[in-house]
Every structure is written in C-alpha cells, then in structure tokens.
C-alpha cells in the first residue's frame, strides 16, 4: 500500500510526524514537498491571490508526474491551497484515491470576516477542490458541516494529537530552570481576542508569568508589562516542552480566528504531565474531567480563582497533571492512535 503525501513538510509535527506513524502500519509514504515551489520573493503575494501562474502549473504537473511514476493507491494532500480541480480529476482517472486534510479553518474568513486580508483568498482553490476529493478530513466539526454545503462528498473529523517522542516530561537542569521556570506560562501567537488583557491581569496580580510567542506580541499589545515579559521569543522542539515543564500552570487560549474549541496544545500539555488551564468549551469538558484532568475558565474572575487555587495546592496540581496524562493516553490522542484511526476511516 502506497500513499503519496503532498505538503510543505515545513514543520516536523505535521506531514513528517504523520508519515512516520502511518508507516508503522505497513504503508509506504512517498513525500512530495511543495515548499520548494514557493521559494521566490513574490510567492507571498501569489500564494494569497487565486491567480493561475507558472509556479502553480509546475506544482500540479509535478504531482501528476510523480503519481504516474510511483502509482500510489492514495494521494494525501496536507492543507492544499494551490492544487487545481483538474489535478484531482486526473488522479481519479488514474484510479488513485485522493484525500485532503486541513488543520486550519478554511471557511472562517468568510464567516467572521476579521481574518488577515490574504486569508480571504488563500482557500479559493482548496474549496473548489472539495467536491472532487474522495476523502476530506478536518480539525473542526464545523468545517465538516460547511464542506458538505460546498459539495464535498465526504467529510470527517480528525482531531489533533500529541507526539510521544516529543511531548513528554523533561526534568530541567539548573540552567534551564533560570530560563523556563515560572508560575504560569503561555506559548502561542497573539490574537486580538482579549488574551492580552488576561495576561496583563495576571502580571498585575504579581504572578510570575512567561510568554513565548511570535513578533506580534508587541509593546502596543502588552502596554506597561511588555518589558517585564522580555524576551518574548518563539520556542520549538525541546525548548517548547521545557517551557511547559518549567511552569506550574500552562495556559491554553483558543483561536477565535480559527474558531477553535480545542487546539493541539490541549493534548500536548497533559501529555507532559502538566496542568492545563484552558478557556472552557463544551468540547474540552467532554475530553477532560474538569478540575480532575484539566482546568477551565470562562471569565477573568474565574481565571484568577483557578490560578490562585492551583498555585496554593501543589498536590492537586500533580494529581491533575497525572490524570490528564493518563486521559490523553487512554483515549488514544497520541499520533500513532490517530494514524490508526485515519487508516480505519479509509477502510484499508
């Protein structure tokens, strides 16, 4: 059984991690890395606009050429933004089943209209292709419903996952404790949804908080507390895990632009044996027993109450961390279980 996996292959947690997991089930993965088609300085603008050009043509021809050579049983397109409907139809004529997977929210920009300008055009070809894919998998249940309205013949949910070799408890050295140890940590991007106000409130209450994220966490966003949080850098690999393991409480804010009811971090934090304190959603309260396996809040007041309670009770923190870890393993939220679920849904 062979699967041609078409995607950027930029981040190890996506295409690479899933391909490693799938191969454990005696399935051969053939990679096609699309990032090399996006190297020139104008790509940022061409990628955002639904115009057909030389690079999109070259990419789609490469897919067909590789499919003819390897003769895979399936072609899996990971977050495909520049695949053309005619490419999917041509693969179908070759008796190759096609699959799409999208961890982003392709319909969000149209619904809430507050996404960055380029997101309003980014998904043009992807949405056009939805009716032609044999299988479509989504990160969010709402996208399954919306894709059906766009003519998708198949739509199914495939939740995010944690990676056991990456997401695990790491004991920090004395040097690492100076860098990562804190009462509260948030690792993630800035979004104008009020998360900056909650972070500022925690600092104003004199809690020790570390913030790890991208360049959009600016002084304009954070105000007078900006300098207290410096340096605000992105963390990845083991540094990402050390930042979680160095905190007593790990915050999980949910993207409103992506209409998230959970996020990858909601599985990674418990997998490390740490306490997750996340925005409360129905989906998360179904995944975890509240205040037993994870903690939730729905307001600034409740956030402060939960933080105070957890910091005063180290035994409770340890119990919740251990219970959360047991839950994500028991319910099969690791990548190997997710790959097995994916394969079963393909009826292989």
DSSP state of 347: T
pLDDT at 158: 97
> Is the model's pLDDT at 321 over the cut of 70?
yes
Helix (H) or strand (E) holding 29: strand 28-33
pLDDT band at 102 (very low <50, low <70, confident <90, very high): very high
Q: Provide the sign of the torsion angle of the four alpha carbons 90, 95, 101, 106, taken in this order.
A: positive
| Interatomic CA distance for residues 264 and 284, integer angstroms | 12
pLDDT at 130: 98
> Is the model's pLDDT at 119 over the cut of 90?
no
> Is the model's pLDDT at 39 over the cut of 90?
no
CA atoms within 13 A on the CB side of 182: 23
Q: Kindly report the average pLDDT of the chain as a whole number.
A: 94
pLDDT single digits (tens) 223-276: 999 999 999 999 999 999 999 999 999 999 999 989 999 999 999 999 999 999
Residue ranges and CATH numbers for the domains of the chain are: 2-161+334-345 (3.40.50.2000), 174-330 (3.40.50.2000)
Question: Does pTM top 0.85 for this prediction?
Answer: yes
| Interatomic CA distance for residues 230 and 221, integer angstroms | 13
The separation between CA 290 and the C-alpha centre of its own chain, rounded to angstroms, equals 23
């Amino acid at each position: 059984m062979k699967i041609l996996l078409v995607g950027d292959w930029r981040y190890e947690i996506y295409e690479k991690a899933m391909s490693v997991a799938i191969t454990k089930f005696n399935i051969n993965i053939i990679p096609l890395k699309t990032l090399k088609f996006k190297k020139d300085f104008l790509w940022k603008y061409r990628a955002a606009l639904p115009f057909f050009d030389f690079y999109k043509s070259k990419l789609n021809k490469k897919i067909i050429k590789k499919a003819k050579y390897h003769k895979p049983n399936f072609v899996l397109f990971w977050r495909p933004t520049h695949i053309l409907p005619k490419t999917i139809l041509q693969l179908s004529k070759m008796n190759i089943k096609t699959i799409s997977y999208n961890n982003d929210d392709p319909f969000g920009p149209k619904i809430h209209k507050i996404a960055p300008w380029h997101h309003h055009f980014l998904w043009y070809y992807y949405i056009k292709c939805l009716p032609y894919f044999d299988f479509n998998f989504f990160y969010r249940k709402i996208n399954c419903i919306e894709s059906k309205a766009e003519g998708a013949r198949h739509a199914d949910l495939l939740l995010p996952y944690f990676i056991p070799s990456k997401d695990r408890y790491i004991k920090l050295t004395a040097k690492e404790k100076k860098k990562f140890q804190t009462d509260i940590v948030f690792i993630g991007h800035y979004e104008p949804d009020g998360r900056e106000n909650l972070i500022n409130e925690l600092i104003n209450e004199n809690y020790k908080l570390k913030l790890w994220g991208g360049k959009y966490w600016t002084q304009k966003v954070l105000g007078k507390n900006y300098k207290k949080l410096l340096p605000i850098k992105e963390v990845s690999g083991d540094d990402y895990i050390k930042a979680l393991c160095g905190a007593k409480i790990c915050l999980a804010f949910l993207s409103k632009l992506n209409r998230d009811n959970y996020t990858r971090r909601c599985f990674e934090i418990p997998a490390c044996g740490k306490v997750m304190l996340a925005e409360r959603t129905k989906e998360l309260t179904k995944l975890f027993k509240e205040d037993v396996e994870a903690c939730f809040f729905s307001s600034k007041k409740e956030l402060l109450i939960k933080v105070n309670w957890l910091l005063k009770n180290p035994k409770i923190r340890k119990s919740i961390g251990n219970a959360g870890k047991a839950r994500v393993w028991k319910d099969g939220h690791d990548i190997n279980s997710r790959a097995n679920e994916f394969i079963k849904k393909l009826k292989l």
